[in-house]
A and B are shown apart, each in its own frame.
Chain A
Amino acid sequence: DADVTQTPRNRITKTGKRIMLECSQTKGHDRMYWYRQDPGLGLRLIYYSFDVKDINKGEISDGYSVSRQAQAKFSLSLESAIPNQTALYFCATSDWDRENGYTFGSGTRLTVV
């Protein structure tokens, strides 16, 4: 099994629908993150969590919400999806030792029509 698992891998949804992207990890890391990737724009941080009781906004949190259900689970919700939220979404984890960097999931490709 992958260290960081994202579901679904692909999703097409309609404008205005609520959608949840899920992330689970077996790394035992406290820190979890959600990023979106758009061509030519690189990675932009949406939300991050340093432990179960900690939630922080990233640079582009508007239109998104998150829930940290357990140390191993961190979900991202789009309350009312819009077309410009079409992107590739990544979950990542890290521990407190910066030498190990981040462990990324394989991504969820979301299309809002």
Chain B
Amino acid sequence: GEDVEQSLFLSVREGDSSVINCTYTDSSSTYLYWYKQEPGAGLQLLTYIFSNMDMKQDQRLTVLLNKKDKHLSLRIADTQTGDSAIYFCAETQSGGSYIPTFGRGTSLIVHP
């Protein structure tokens, strides 16, 4: 199976909350990231969480980490049409080259 898994699509209405989920397999993962890719652009780092944390909040974004279940989520409050993008989950491990493993990305579609 894949090291980092995400569902491929999520559709929400403007103003609702969006929750994008990610599961990973490596229990030694230390840093976990969320990137956003807008159409025609490269990925941009949205936020990260270190493995000794279980929650991190930054304005409309809330990241939750459940280490026991190896589950990471990104909640976007009051979702706007400008949030429509592909969201990638990524993780790095505690040893080795620290090169992140990316999920396949979740396409978030926000309807007016």
Contacts and interface: CB of A to CB of B under 8 A. Distances in A.
Interface string A21-55: 00000000000010000001111010010100000
Interface string A62-103: 000000000000000000000000000010100000111111
A43 B90 CA distance: 10
A42 B99 contact: no
B99 A45 contact: yes
B24 interface: no
Interface stretch (B10-18, B40-48, B60-68, B71-79): B40-48
Nearest to B4: A42
A29 to B, nearest CB: 13
Interface string B79-109: 0000000001010100001111011110000
Contacts, number: 52
Given A98-B92, A101-B48, A106 B42 contact: yes
Main secondary structure of the interface of B (DSSP, over half): strand
B99 A48 contact: yes
Interface residues on B, range: 20 to 34
A43 B88 contact: yes
Contacts of A50: 97
Nearest to B8: A40
Interface of A: 4, 33, 40-43, 45, 48, 50, 56, 90, 92, 98-107
29 contacts: A4-B42, A40-B8, A40-B104, A41-B104, A42-B88, A42-B102, A42-B103, A42-B104, A42-B105, A43-B43, A48-B97, A56-B97, A90-B42, A98-B31, A98-B48, A98-B92, A98-B98, A101-B33, A101-B45, A101-B90, A101-B100, A102-B100, A103-B45, A104-B42, A104-B43, A106-B40, A106-B41, A107-B40, A107-B42
4 pairs of A and B residues whose beta carbons are closest in the complex: A104-B42, A42-B104, A101-B45, A43-B102
Interface of B: 8, 30-31, 33, 35, 40-45, 48, 50, 88, 90, 92, 97-100, 102-105
